[in-house]
Every structure is written in C-alpha cells, then in structure tokens.
Structure 1
Amino acid sequence: MNADLQPLIEHLIELRSRVVRAAGLLLLVFLILFHWSGDIYHLLALPMLKVLPAGSSMIATDVTATFFVPLKITGMVAFLITLPHTLYQAWAFVAPGLYQHEKRLVIPLIISSVLLFAVGMAFAYFLVFPVVFGFMAAATPEGVAMMTDIDKYLSFVLGMFIAFGVTFETPVIVMVLVRMGLVSIAKLREIRPYVIVGAFVIAAVVTPPDVLSQIMLAVPLWLLYELGVVLSAWLIVPKPLASEEG
C-alpha cells in the first residue's frame, strides 16, 4: 500500500468505528424506548391536549401517521439521550489533532452546548407551549372545532424546539467569537441595539403570530446575548483581532 495513503485509510477506519459506536448506542436506546413510544408521544402532546375544548382530540389525516409519528418522536428522544455520547465520539476522533489549549476549550464547550440546548427545549415545553397553545385555543372562532393533526403538530413542536435550543446557545456562540478574535467585547456592546431589534425580528419569523410567544423568544435571546458578553469579559482571554495583528 502507498505510504501516503496509509494514514488516510487509518483515519477513515477510525471514523467508521466512531460512527458505528454512536449509531449503535442510538439504535439500542431507540429499541429500549420503542415499547413506550405511545407514552412518549402523549407526553409531547400534553401541552396541546390540556387546552383543547372538552370532547375534542388530536387527529391523524394520514393512514400511517398513528404509527410513524410516535416512532419519530421516540427517535428524537433517543437522539437527545445519546447526544453526549455522539459528541464524545466526534471529540475522540478529532482530539489527537488538537493542541492542549484547544482540548481544554472543546470539552467545556460541548458540555455547555448540550446543557443549554436542553434548557432551551425545556423552556419551550414548560413555558412557551402552554402560552402559545392557550392563545390559539382562545382565538378559535365560535363554531370551529380545534382538532390538530398529529403530524403537523410534530413538525411545529420540532421547529420550536430547534428555535429555542439554538437561541439558548447564544452565550456559547458569543464566547467562541470573542475567543477566536473575530469580534471584540467593545464591539459586542456597541451593536447591542441592533441585536435587540434582530432578536425581535427572528422571534417574529420563527414563532406563531402572537405577541406573547414572540416576546418569550426575543427577550431570552437578548438576555442570553448579554450573558455571553459578561462571561466573555470575565472568563475569556481573546486572541488579537486581525486588524490589531496587522
């Protein structure tokens, strides 16, 4: 074998091994949870079920939805449970090529990112969903039966989970930008008014058209940005900006 190709082959074998380990645990957790897929679906649907009028229920307009929707939700839960292990496998693959100071930065970054994403999802589930669904139920015109399709409900919920999960990553994103020297803390403070406006614009795009849910996304986004600025000034020693290096 060509000596130049051998390291590449070894890296590919290592990558395959890491992917197989991550996928294997994901499949194992999914199979374990499969028995409770109906209960998991009910837990996810609970915020909507609580606000439906008496005698109403969610519906399935697709023949296969009653089977595949709980299956998709179970797969999502299995993915979230195994996400730390998946990120560890990715970390183990790239770690040999990192410097020691980079290794010290990556591990806290991964842990904080996973925790913040989970907190964002919990914020959406426990605080935002009751407000949004309650508003939608109250806004239903008289004579109209509110019966949400379970597949569309799943798509909506996943979109909100992603929106709030990513929003809660804001402190990590800010700290990484400062640490990499891409932006200064002074610049972050200077653009604060634009960030506030941008937060409300983003909230208006990704949330339902009611003021409460938009505020419940925009305000945390702004406050988390401020938290990122504070933590960056306190904990991060930034690299010089490119303009300063010149």
Structure 2
Amino acid sequence: MPPKLALRRVLRATVAIPWRNRAAFVRVLAAPVVALVVMDLVVEWAEHALGGWRSVVLSVAWWALFVVIAVRTHRLVLAKDEEQMAKASLRWSWRETRFFGWLLVIYFQVALLGLLLAMLGLAIMWVVPSGPFQLMVVVAVLPAAYLLARLSLIFPAVALDRPVDFGWAWARSAGNGWRLVLVVAVLPLAFSVVATAANSALVAAVLAAPLVVLEVVALSAAYRALVVETAPAGVGH
C-alpha cells in the first residue's frame, strides 16, 4: 500500500514549485493562461447572450484549453521538459487527446454516480419528508468526490505518457482517498471561492486561471509523493 499522503508537503509544494520555477512557468504557461482568462470572459458572456449550443461549444473550448494547461503543468512539475513545452505553443497532440479522453471518461463516471446518489437522496426525502436536505447533498457529493479522488492520479500519469487503467489508479491511491479529496475537490472549491469573491467577472477570470495552474500543481505533487517517490529504482512510474 502507498504511504500516507503528507498534505502539508503537498500544499507547500503547490506554492513552492511554481515560485522556484517561475521563469519556466511563465515561459510555458503564459499564452494558454491568458487564453483561458479570455475564454472565461467569453463563456461568461455567452451564457447570458447566446445560450444553447453556442455556449456548449465555448464550454468545450474552455475544457480544451484546460487540458493544454494541465498537460503542460504536469510535465513542468514531473518531467521538467520546459524546452519542449515552450516550443509547443498551443499545439494539440495525441497526448492532449488521450488526456481529454480520460477526462471525459472519469468525469462521466463521477457525474453518473452523483446523479444516481442524488436520485437516491430524493427518494429518501420522498419517504422521509422531514429529512435534512443538507444530508442528502452530502450523500450525493461525497462519494462522487471520493471516486474522482481515487482516479485522479490517472491525469498526471497520462500527461507523462504512462500506461494507466482504473485498477492502477485505485491501487496507487489506496489509503489516501480522503486526502486526495482535499487535493482534487476541497482545494479547487476554496480557490473558486477566492476567485469569485471579488464580485467582478474580469477579476474572477484573472484570478481563476492561475489558480487552475496551482490546482494541477497540487495533483502533480500528490502524484510525485504516491507514485514517483515510491517506485522501485529503474521502474517506470
């Protein structure tokens, strides 16, 4: 079983790694992060002005930009191939396609689990009308967040071109499910609160994009602790 994830170490690394390597991060991520800020504003506008399939298309474009940023960030932290990433510009490769595919598969499973549990919660509330609504929300959200956390190590592994499957992710995250929930669910939620606190779409977009990078760095740090540092010498991770 992997060692217990040291959350303080992960949180320190989330800030320290980008700061120590700030020149590389700016060089590699400046263009996609600026593009994400613009896309955030466009999506915000489209939801009110366009709606329908156009806003869906823009949302897909936002996720595509997120994939580019996530792959680059994981590789900056774990593979340190700054030169290759800097030359890639916003180019989309098979690596990003594979990452996007895993993103869709995992989030579909998480959403499906959340939906099924929400339906169960509604059924319970129908039987017991006086049941607390907050409890039903917890019943739906926490297991879905736990599933996402247990599978989340797939993302940095895919960014590193490693062969992965659900069994591998489940084994590597064993004993650390709730710690990873803090990394992949609670931390992004906290960042989201920070980004939206300004009550300005522009400020929120400017804050949100760098915070996305920090979220990915946090997952990279967790992957390094649970996979890279525990791999036997000479064995791929």
TM-score, reference length from structure 1: 0.37
- Structure number with bigger Rg: 1
TM-score, reference length from structure 2: 0.38
Higher relative contact order (CA 8 A, sep 6+): 2
